[in-house]
Structure 1
């Protein structure tokens, strides 16, 4: 073949760009395989069905959950099949300009140009895949794609909307297992920070990170700032915010039957023993600091009372700790009595 493989389910906005790149990307799949990486000896090509499932619910992520302007949702999925010497993004490494633009704005032009350049320079990219956006925190998007024995890795990225520069995705997952293709893979996905915007909340204004940070996984305790939308210090780990399922397709385009008993080659730990369990993350009440003490009110010669107040910053949810008292008083001696 003399072009990059086109993949199904390409959004209309990206279709002209990808068609142009497929035309330009000559000779992409003929690459020398690094000798230090185990060679895939599975049959040359196979096809997979990809299903991305959003699990971003208000019950699981009650803190600052975006309900409007815009509500919680997912961008379109952009992915590539490639060899071991290519990375679309990597944890603890700096995001490329393409990943930056996609994570911050959902713009894919620069990212697609980077994919094209990698294919031409080191012949590491075999195909591009895409899936339409999910309008809502929950829901699914689907795509089908082909992998080649010399390009058996899958990477993709999906932007969390709204967010400063947060995303979920998969980095260089090998679908080949020695002399055969993995039949079925299920993996929970957790949020990442691209390290290019310093906002703490879903609706933070654009605030460029200078100098740029590395890509990090966001956890329930990191970044350890109370304003962080994913900061749940009572949790050992965040619940998964999304999930991806990869299923090998027969040449008849029908999904193959899964094994009766899972094996190491077709099962990855997901962290959830029971699928589709409703997750209710406890959210503790958060209150402001106390106001200064008010004036001492009372009759001259007698003790008086003065008050102070505080207000609720975050109401509790899902059996989180209740709010403490919001008003306080103490005895005092009136000042400036005549």
Structure 2
């Protein structure tokens, strides 16, 4: 290609900008001192007060899968909003199976040299609770990504995509982020306990909001909210001194891994939902005089957290008796 052709290509690239839906490299090369170690703490905030609609109480109750992540370069993407997930990520999002995803990570590290390290943290056996681990980043691999599956769910997860821990010529001391639910695009279930129903064709990763998907049956559908409360939070803190990491023993955690709700914990109002009216019943009454007929409906969702109360469930209307003798 001649100089004129290269100049034209450069001009077109500048006009088009970066390709949409693709993870972007760090804004500038990382020149921080080699290696930095961080502690990562994942805190689940999936409480019944914050998410009262269809909150899973048993078989199984609300909980979080193990956390799986990697420190990597911009050449690698564990997951990205607007992109299709890999087969390994699909298995993890749908069933919590990590083997295929770990093999994909291993291949990316060996073939592309795009991973510095893979890290994991234990599962959290309730919707609210903590889990923690440690990880190491490198100037050539300063990005951190991880996923945690929402259990139970069709293919929903929370996580971080390509968080850059490098700050030019140094490492960030502390980063804390709220996490919100995402749909992997491989299962079309609307509720936490929906049966498996594959999405064909597969869809890209999308963020689940209080109004999207806009179906009343959706477990995260809260039309009165502008935005969902955070479902979890992650905090990464740089470790100044190397020390052996010991995960918190189960008997040292709060009972059931629960974190007591603070006075400022969000409470999401949930309005009452009722069924459609039944058909009118038979008209009862003496011949030649007005009688009455009745129809009913039932409560589909009980109100919570000062949501709109349930309307009347029984209604009567005047009528003229049929088939009088």
Q: TM-score range by the shorter chain?
A: 0.7 to 0.9
**1:302 counterpart (281, 289, 293):** 289
Tell me the residue number matched to 1:318. Answer: 305
Tell me the residue number matched to 2:40. Answer: 50
Tell me the residue number matched to 1:25. Answer: none
Q: Deviations over 1:77-122 (max 9, x none)?
A: 0000000111000001111101100000000011011111111222
1:332 aligns with 2:322: no
Report deviation, 1:37: 4.7
Structure 1-normalised TM-score? 0.82
The 5 A counterparts of 1:100-249 are 100-249=90-239
* Closer, same or farther: CA 254–107 of 1 in aligned 2, 3 Å: closer
**2:270 counterpart (273, 276, 283):** 283
Tell me the residue number matched to 1:40. Answer: 30
Report deviation, 1:279: 1.0
Report deviation, 1:123: 1.1
Q: Give the superposed CA RMSD.
A: 1.7
Q: Deviations over 1:256-285 (max 9, x none)?
A: xxxxxxxxxxxxxxxxxxx98211100000
Residues 293 and 317 of structure 2 are in contact (CA less than 8 Å); yes or no, is this contact kept in structure 1?
A: yes
Q: Deviations over 1:40-92 (max 9, x none)?
A: 01111110000000001000000010010000000000000000111000001
Q: Deviations over 1:106-151 (max 9, x none)?
A: 0001101111111122210110000000010011000011100010
Tell me the residue number matched to 1:89. Answer: 79
Counterpart of 2:29 in 1: which secondary structure? coil
Counterpart of 2:236 in 1: which secondary structure? strand
* Closer, same or farther: CA 172–189 of 1 in aligned 2, 3 Å: same
* Closer, same or farther: CA 71–35 of 1 in aligned 2, 3 Å: closer
- Between the aligned partners of 1:176 and 1:147, the Cα distance in structure 2 is 9
Counterpart of 2:237 in 1: which secondary structure? strand
Report deviation, 1:251: 2.8
- Between the aligned partners of 2:304 and 2:285, the Cα distance in structure 1 is 40
Tell me the residue number matched to 1:31. Answer: none
Tell me the residue number matched to 1:264. Answer: none
Counterpart of 1:110 in 2: which secondary structure? helix
**1:61 counterpart (26, 36, 51):** 51
Tell me the residue number matched to 1:72. Answer: 62
Counterpart of 2:190 in 1: which secondary structure? coil
- Between the aligned partners of 2:168 and 2:128, the Cα distance in structure 1 is 35
Aligned length: 286
Counterpart of 1:98 in 2: which secondary structure? helix
* Closer, same or farther: CA 313–52 of 1 in aligned 2, 3 Å: same
- Between the aligned partners of 2:156 and 2:25, the Cα distance in structure 1 is 35
- Between the aligned partners of 2:237 and 2:244, the Cα distance in structure 1 is 10
Report deviation, 1:177: 0.9
